[in-house]
Structure 1
Amino acid sequence: MKLNFNKVQGLPVPIELFEIINQSLTGTPLPKGDFNSVTLNFRDPNYSSDNGGYHPVEIRLEKQNELWQLVYITDFSYQGGTFPELVKEIDVCFISKQVFNVFIGWLQNRNAKELLTLFISNFIAYYANDCYQVSVSVD
């Protein structure tokens, strides 16, 4: 399955990200009939609070007028001392055009775009190095 994207996302998104999404969907059995959202989960099976590794990333898309729109991209990491929990470290909301960082809070404008650019370029590099296992769910 190949999705057609709305390329105007409100925040800068390189074409490589859309290619990764479509590549991840290739060969994925999807239900017959209509569905209006797709969630992709990218996980490093060796990532843990003790050993580190590549943070899990979740990407959600929703269908709008035959085109697919990015809703969010979230990077999770273990945070906390004795009992670390998996929390949102970076959360990109394309609806509000804001980027959240666990250490700074909500960012807008230039700061949001700079963090998003760095985050996505790292994600693309990690994906290219085969660091993730991908799972897909639809609603």
Structure 2
Amino acid sequence: MTISIDTNQRPVMPAPFYQLLAQELINTNPKEANAITLYFRDPDYSPEQGGFHPVEVRLEKQLNQWRLVYVTDFAFHGHDFPDLIKDIDICFNSKQVYSSIGGWIKHDEGAELIELFSDNFTSYHHMDVYQVQIALG
């Protein structure tokens, strides 16, 4: 089944990101679903060892297309008792980008961060560092 993803949304993700999503969703049959959440996890990621940050991607059905709702990159922060928190959050509904260092910024100001994140994420995905789970809602 082909899943049509709206690539005209703001902020704009680079084309390889959409190709990656399409590749992951190729065997998914979301006919009855209104939402899809993809979980990308490096099973070895920990505060002690480091590794590749977990990433969550949410899509929701709107008419005949799937629209991105958010892309969130999580990371451990803190020393004695590290917490897994949002490190980068790209929110398509509010058209804003969040980074744990700079807070919320408008999507046009966050274009470089989006491109850097997307390039790194797609590279890591091609290296097969993630285990991927898909939840239909």
Equivalents in 2 of 1:133, 1:88: separation in Å?
19
Return 5+ residue gaps in structure 2 as ranges. none
Return 5+ residue gaps in structure 1 as ranges. none
Match of 1:125 among 113, 123, 126: 123
- TM normalised by structure 1 equals 0.92
For these two proteins, the number of residue pairs brought into alignment is 137
Per-residue Cα deviation, 1:41-96 (whole angstroms, up to 9, x for no partner): 00001000000000000000001011010000000000111010110000000111
Equivalents in 1 of 2:79, 2:16: separation in Å?
36
What letter matches 2:128 in structure 1? D
Q: CA shift at 1:109, angstroms?
A: 4.3
Residue in structure 1 matched with residue 86 of structure 2 by the alignment: 88
Superposition RMSD on alpha carbons, in Å?
1.4
What letter matches 2:4 in structure 1? N
Q: CA shift at 1:110, angstroms?
A: 3.7
Residue in structure 2 matched with residue 16 of structure 1 by the alignment: 16
Residue in structure 1 matched with residue 33 of structure 2 by the alignment: 35
What percentage of aligned pairs have identical amino acids?
Answer: 44
Residue in structure 2 matched with residue 105 of structure 1 by the alignment: 103
- TM normalised by structure 2 equals 0.94
Q: CA shift at 1:97, angstroms?
A: 1.0
